Chain A
Amino acid sequence: MSEEVKLMKGNEAIARAAIRCGCDGYFGYPITPQSEVMETLMEEEPWKTTGMVVLQAESETSSINMVYGGACTGKKVMTSSSSPGVSLMQEGISYIACAELPCVVVNVMRGGPGLGTIQPSQADYFQTVKGGGHGDYKLIALAPSTVQEMADYTVKAFDLAFKYRTPVMLLADGAIGQMMEKVVLPEQRPRATEEEIRANCPWAIVGKPASRGRNVITSLALKSEEMEATNIKLQAKYREIEKNEVIVEMHNCEDADYIIVAFGLCARICQKTMEMAREKGLKVGVLRPITLWPFPTEEIKALANKCKGMLCVEMNAGQMVEDVRLAVNGKVDVQSFGRLGGIIPAPDEVLNALEKLVADNA
């Protein structure tokens, strides 16, 4: 049987993929440009079909804490928001990371700082990969660039969240959230049963049976030695994730003299720039980190040994470029090009920036 292809918005794809992958609970608060996630869920009424809970909270603070409470139960829970709302969630995300709970947080980024703009942006890169909340923790961050990937990486995000008992961020932007493209949705998976949760998540808060002691989920350890041990355990897990879970996509990087590094929507724009540059005889490739953390440091390092320069293109003032420079470690020139405030860079202006890089390194 052929797969059913549907046309939908990126935000809608997240909602439908969440239902399909057996999500148990969504807790959210409206904010442009991602409100269609909750709107789609409310329209679908999955509590009548799969039994999924969908609840509109009174704030993003509350929705992330509902996610925290729900994640404790061993069930698949998620929230979605956009930049200002995700800023409000940072405290909760820190608690969830420390308590080692699985959940998915979607950030459909808009331009900041402050109330900013409702137009697309990638300016929450630092907030996502460098912490955001307090303390030493990391989020696995997946950056989709198509509506199909909004669906696919929603499913992948839950799988990684449960594999490592860690929050996973799906980091998209307002353009991918709002654009309509063809999508093949994942197969409907059943929600986990109580028996499966008890078997697979022995840590979960289900009510204490006589057969075991009480389960307590907390991020508190007043004794420094205990808190250091918690941190060491977290760091060991993060090293494991860095080793196993890097996802990167490369286009024409084998023979490239110059590499454009870009994620999400920018990576698609830069592929057009790459085609334009190749028509002009410039050997250009595009490296697209799909996991922003763990970052494809090794892949970039390897390319730095054989190319003449790199251009990092982002919808921000130059954030990921810092991680690219760390990977390159001075081997080649790394330049940055970005548009701010919700403006999407055009392929020809990226080409101008690329030609400057070429001229500077000729």
Chain B
Amino acid sequence: MNNDIIKPENLVYTKTPVLNDNPMHYCPGCSHGVVHKLIAEVIEEMGIQEKTIGVAPVGCAVFAYNYLEIDWEQAAHGRAPALATAVKRLWPDRYVFTYQGDGDLAAIGTAETIHACNRGENITIIFINNGIYGMTGGQMAPTTLEGMKTATCPYGRNTAINGYPLNITKLVAELEGTRYVTRQSVHTVAAVQKAKKAIRKAFENSMEGKGTSFVEIVSTCNSGWKMSPAKSNEWMVENMFKAYPIGDLKDK
């Protein structure tokens, strides 16, 4: 290898210091790592590291607090929006965000999600939707697609038994309290750039007192889906995007 090219003037990328050097516990190919990096970059670029407070969920991202160099609270399963509500109201000049998976946000925490959004809490909700419970070993989530196999619907989600995939993002977009509701992904360079813009916009909104910003990231769980990372991305585009189309649902 030619080391002569390693010079400061040739540097094209540095990791943001808001993202620390702890080795991530996420599976290779998982979307969490990319989304963590985007949030960290937004925090650095906006210069708000000292004013940002994160609320971690229960699920794979429970350890999000190990990777971003900001103050964190770790919530009980589904309750992150309740914690964030109190933090934002008690420290109104802080940037407060929750980071939640689909089981956390759209199953056990549905009431907290709906009511925080309906009150128009001036927080950012980052919602990772991969249609499966990762941490507990691949069980059915509220967003699991019809026919999709998981540990608790091993023959595929049967709507007659399990009901329908819950499009909670569409639901929160209907609420008066939400200001910005968008659905993004991080499977290509272009998608990553768009997702980062959406996260930044959500963070900026939270200081304007005009309501909740909600950013869904349609994601992969290659371990839970039992596919390679590359195949997972293809499967996501073909299947997840049909049920959960990418784009802004609301921007007021």
Known: A208-B50, A210-B50. A215 touches B83 (CB 8 A): no
Cβ A55 vs Cβ B79 within 8 A: no
- Give the distance in Å from the alpha carbon of A65 to the alpha carbon of B79 in the complex: 6
- Give the distance in Å from the alpha carbon of A77 to the alpha carbon of B79 in the complex: 17
Stretch at the interface among B7-15, B33-41, B51-59, B161-169: B51-59
Distance from A232 Cβ to chain B, minimum over Cβ atoms (Å) = 21
Interface hits, A192-215 → B, CB 8 Å? 205-210, 213-215
Interface residues of A (CB under 8 A from B): 24-25, 27, 53, 55, 57-59, 61-63, 65-70, 72-73, 75, 77, 91-92, 95, 205-210, 213-220
Interface residues on B, range: 20 to 34
Cβ B75 vs Cβ A214 within 8 A: no
Cβ A58 vs Cβ B111 within 8 A: yes
Cβ A205 vs Cβ B50 within 8 A: no
- Give the distance in Å from the alpha carbon of A63 to the alpha carbon of B73 in the complex: 16
B73 in complex: contacting residue of A25, A27, A55, A217, CB < 8 Å: A217
Known: A69-B86, A219-B74, A220-B62. A208 touches B112 (CB 8 A): no
Cβ B82 vs Cβ A65 within 8 A: yes
- Give the distance in Å from the alpha carbon of A24 to the alpha carbon of B49 in the complex: 25
Interface hits, B70-94 → A, CB 8 Å? 70-76, 79, 82-87, 89-91, 94
Cβ B90 vs Cβ A24 within 8 A: yes
B50 in complex: contacting residue of A66, A67, A73, A207, CB < 8 Å: A207
- Closest chain A residue to B115, Cβ basis: A58
B residues less than 8 Å from A208 (CB atoms) = 49-50, 69-71
Cβ A216 vs Cβ B74 within 8 A: yes
Cβ A25 vs Cβ B86 within 8 A: yes
Total cross-chain contacts (CB, 8 A): 121
- Give the distance in Å from the alpha carbon of A69 to the alpha carbon of B55 in the complex: 9
A53 in complex: contacting residue of B72, B74, B89, CB < 8 Å: B89
Interface residues of B (CB under 8 A from A): 49-53, 55-56, 62, 65, 68-76, 79, 82-87, 89-91, 94, 111-112, 114-115
B87 in complex: contacting residue of A59, A61, A205, CB < 8 Å: A205
Cβ B79 vs Cβ A53 within 8 A: no
Distance from B72 Cβ to chain A, minimum over Cβ atoms (Å) = 5
A residues less than 8 Å from B114 (CB atoms) = 58
A95 in complex: contacting residue of B72, B76, B94, CB < 8 Å: B76
- Closest chain A residue to B95, Cβ basis: A207
- Give the distance in Å from the alpha carbon of A61 to the alpha carbon of B52 in the complex: 25
B79 in complex: contacting residue of A92, A205, A213, A220, CB < 8 Å: A92
Cβ B53 vs Cβ A207 within 8 A: yes
A residues less than 8 Å from B84 (CB atoms) = 69
The residue among B65, B76, B86, B91 with the most chain A CB atoms within 10 A of its own CB is B86
- Give the distance in Å from the alpha carbon of A77 to the alpha carbon of B86 in the complex: 9
Cβ A216 vs Cβ B72 within 8 A: yes
Distance from A90 Cβ to chain B, minimum over Cβ atoms (Å) = 11
Sample (11) of A-B pairs whose CB atoms are under 8 Å apart: A53-B89, A68-B75, A68-B83, A69-B85, A69-B87, A73-B87, A95-B76, A210-B50, A214-B65, A216-B65, A216-B72
